[in-house]
Amino acid sequence: MGKFWLAAQFFATKLGLPAPLALVAGLIEFFGGVLLAAGFLTRPVAALIMGLMFVAVIQVHLDAGSFWTSGGFEYPLFWGLVAGSFVIRGGGRYSVDALIGREI
């Protein structure tokens, strides 16, 4: 529970965003990653992850430069682009979406 409060404090003080958005971001990262790995609701979940990563690039990492080793935007931008490819292409033939015949 302590790490949530640190994240909420970071959102409020450093980013100027409402503290409850820390919970939303954490839920998107955890459950979004699980759903994306399973290929369930692939496109909507990937769109949420892509949006989250681009907000992270702009709000947190942009001022640190490009290299991830110095806290730059290279790593979250990469994952945002990967999520964007899932938005465009979907989960593929081995995803849960394809298995149940409901790929959106």
Q: Using CA atoms, how far apart are residues 92 and 86, in angstroms rounded to an integer?
A: 9
At 22-49, the pLDDT tens digits run 888 889 999 999 999 999 999 999 999 9
Cβ atoms of 69 and 12 within 8 Å: the answer is no
Cβ atoms of 72 and 64 within 8 Å: the answer is yes
Residue spans per domain, the chain: 2-100
Buried b (16+ CB within 10 A) or exposed e, 58-97: eebbeeeeeeeeeebbbbbbebbeebbebbeebbeeebbb
At 51-102, the pLDDT tens digits run 999 988 988 878 777 787 777 888 889 999 999 999 999 988 889 988 888 7
Q: What is the pTM of this model?
A: 0.82
Q: Which two tokens stand for residue 1?
A: 């529970």
